Amino acid sequence: MSAETVAALKARFPQVSDRPSLDHPAVNAPAGEVPEVLRALRDGFTFDFLADVTAIDWSQGRTPRFTMVYHLYSTTSHEYLRVAADCPSDTDPVVPSVTGLWPAANWHEREVFDMFGIRFSGHPDLRRILMWDGYPHFPLRKDFPLAGIEAPLPDPDVVAETGVSAKPAPMAGGPFVASAGEMNLTEAEPRAKDESWTERREKPGA
């Protein structure tokens, strides 16, 4: 079923190509044609459920740097399909919104905008959803450290009273990860595996 879907989709959209995938079938599509491709999948191939909208940052220096990922589900054939689209610009990525196809895309795209800084043309309400309005960074970009970057808090009266700002979190040698497969619980305790990227030392190559 999925193979036929992908073949039929590629016949209809010559720009769509196969994408390597370990689990569900996946295709690449040009970012500008994502709404048409998704509309065809929704209306013609029963992929009527938008399970997730997310993005990938391939790290600075890579072209294309950002890739949009859409996870579709068919409530008829109970299959997943993944559509990926490379964003055309590495510095100011803009892709068309799919809120017109699924209202559920609204908050997903806001989250992608909040975390990656990818803007969506045609989005009805493109505001940050997790971080506060006016936060200057995009936390899930690869050049953003886990501990964070100092940034002012949004309420001037609270800041005036407390003098608090969003500061980098003390990583204490982290990030901490548990080693998989260790049977000895003492050895398997979460501990610092990679000390090369903390608030004191920048990530190499950043």
Partner 1 sequence: MLRCEGLFFNEPTALMVTANTELTYNSKIEGDVVVSRADAVINWVRTNSMWPMPMGLACCAIELMAVASSRFDIARFGAEVMRFSPRQSDVMIVSGTVTYKMATALRRIYDQMAEPKWVIAMGACASTGGMYRSYAVLQGVDRIVPVDVYVSGCPPRPEALIDALVKLQDKVKRERSAQKLFSS
- The site for partner 1 (CB under 8 A) is made up of 130-132, 137, 139, 144-149, 153-155, 158, 161-162, 164, 166-172, 174-175
The residue behind tokens 């975390």 is 115
Surface-to-core class of residue 13, CB atoms within 10 Å of its CB (0-12 exposed, 13-18 middle, 19+ buried): middle
Sign of the C-alpha dihedral computed for residues 170, 171, 173 and 178 taken in this order: positive
Q: Smallest gap, in angstroms, from Cβ of residue 132 to partner 1?
A: 5
* Pair of tokens at residue 198: 């903390």
Closer by beta carbon to partner 1, 7 or else 169:
169
Q: Smallest gap, in angstroms, from Cβ of residue 95 to partner 1?
A: 25
Closer by beta carbon to partner 1, 17 or else 165:
165
Q: Smallest gap, in angstroms, from Cβ of residue 119 to partner 1?
A: 21
The residue behind tokens 């936390």 is 139
Backbone angles phi, psi at 103, to 5 degrees: -60, -25
Closer by beta carbon to partner 1, 44 or else 154:
154
What are the residue ranges of helices labelled H in the chain? 2-12, 34-44, 105-116, 156-162, 185-188
Q: How far apart are CA 44 and CA 194, in angstroms?
A: 48
Q: Smallest gap, in angstroms, from Cβ of residue 163 to partner 1?
A: 9
Closer by beta carbon to partner 1, 38 or else 171:
171
Q: Smallest gap, in angstroms, from Cβ of residue 66 to partner 1?
A: 20
Closer by beta carbon to partner 1, 56 or else 147:
147
* Pair of tokens at residue 47: 């992929």
Give the CA radius of gyration of the chain: 21
The residue behind tokens 């803009």 is 94
Closer by beta carbon to partner 1, 163 or else 181:
163
Half-sphere exposure of 7 (CA within 13 A, CB side): 4
Q: Smallest gap, in angstroms, from Cβ of residue 176 to partner 1?
A: 8
